[in-house]
Structure 1
Amino acid sequence: MKNLGKLSETEMEVMEVIWKEGTPVTVSKLLDIFEDKDWKTSTMSTLLKRLIEKGFLTKTLDGKVNYYHTSVTMEQYRKIETQTFLNRLYNGKVKNFITALVNDDEFSKKDIAELREWFKQKKGEE
């Protein structure tokens, strides 16, 4: 998988819109979507440039208009971020993460029963 840069909160907000809209998108399309932010063209262009540098977007030129295409899906990004989180805090092990949640009373008995059912279904024991 790609070695992507870390997204700021604003960059994540822009990427979520781009993922939802599908590609290609233009600066003017994004400015319309984010009209409540009152961003200028230069602000959006800077954000998109950073997203290209971080590996999330590519850009093509058609006439005088730049079109921005995603180079990673939301699902791919989630997997990368989840693995980074697990590696950093739980030695890369999902069990350690779940254990921390269960030990901190974040899971109810109902949650545990639902997870048990989910694991059975994934394993094909249903």
Structure 2
Amino acid sequence: MKKIQRMSDAEKQIMNFIWKTGRPVTTAEIMQNLPEEKEWKQNTVITFLARLMEKGFLKATRISKANYYEPCLTEQEYRNFATKQFIADIHKGSVLRFINTLCDNGDLTKEDIENLIKRLKEYVMLC
């Protein structure tokens, strides 16, 4: 697969449905399950699907008169990419700066902190 690229919000909505479904889906299925707050036209959805295929996120298999779309990477793989990209872009590549921001904003609960400490201890044991 090509280097992972960012997805637009609309592309993410389509991919989220495809990932959640866990099986190849048609354009019609995608259109029926996209958020209703936006009016999705079929040509628009087809354009987004074509972009997702160009970017290497999807592959399509033609069966009879319909294309069946399935992901070429997992949601977790994309989440890992997006998180690294966010930390690189916003926090100059520093995970510590990211955590400091969470602490400074009061976004971490006591439970979050306890889980983070536990996870870091587990990670240190693996190193």
| Coarse TM-score class (shorter-chain normalised) | 0.7 to 0.9
| Closer/same/farther in 2, CA of residues 21 and 95 from structure 1, 3 Å limit | same
**What is the TM-score with the length of structure 1 in the denominator?**
0.80
Q: In the superposition, relative to structure 1, how do residues 79 and 35 fare at CA in structure 2: closer, same or farther (>3 Å)?
A: closer
**What secondary structure sits across from 2:73 in the alignment?**
coil
1:85 positional shift: 0.8
Distance in 2, matches of 1:14 and 1:24, equals: 13
Contact 2:23 2:70 in 1 (8 A): yes
**For residues 30-59 of structure 1, what are the alpha-carbon distances to aligned partners after superposition, in whole Å with 9 as ceiling and x for unaligned?**
122238455333222112111112221111
CA separation in 1, counterparts of 2:115 and 2:35? 42
> Where in structure 2 are the equivalents of 1:1-126 lying within 5 Å?
2-34=2-34, 36=36, 37-107=38-108, 111-124=112-125
Cα distance, 1:19 vs structure 2: 0.3
Q: Which runs of 5+ in 1 are unaligned?
A: none
SS at match of 2:70: strand
**Structure 1 consecutive aligned stretches of length 4 or more whose deviation exceeds 6 Å:** none
Separation in 2 of the partners of 1:93 and 1:66?
A: 42
Between 4-13 and 115-124, report the one with greater CA deviation: 115-124
Measured after TM superposition, the shift of residue 90 of structure 1 is 2.0
What TM-score do the two structures reach when normalised by structure 2?
A: 0.80
Q: Classify 1:64/1:92 alpha carbon distance in 2 versus 1 (closer, same or farther; 3 Å).
A: same
Kept after mapping to 1: 8 A contact 2:13/2:34: no
> In the TM superposition, what whole-angstrom CA distance separates every residue of 1:10-34 from its partner, at most 9, and x where no partner exists?
1111110000012311111112223
Query: Alpha carbon RMSD of aligned pairs, Å?
Result: 2.5
Structure 2 residues without counterparts, runs of 5 or longer: none
Equivalent pairs counted in the alignment come to 125
Q: Structure 2 vs 1, CA of residues 45 and 111 (structure 1 numbering), >3 Å: closer, same or farther?
A: closer
Q: Give the Cα separation in 1 of the matches to 2:32 and 2:104.
A: 46
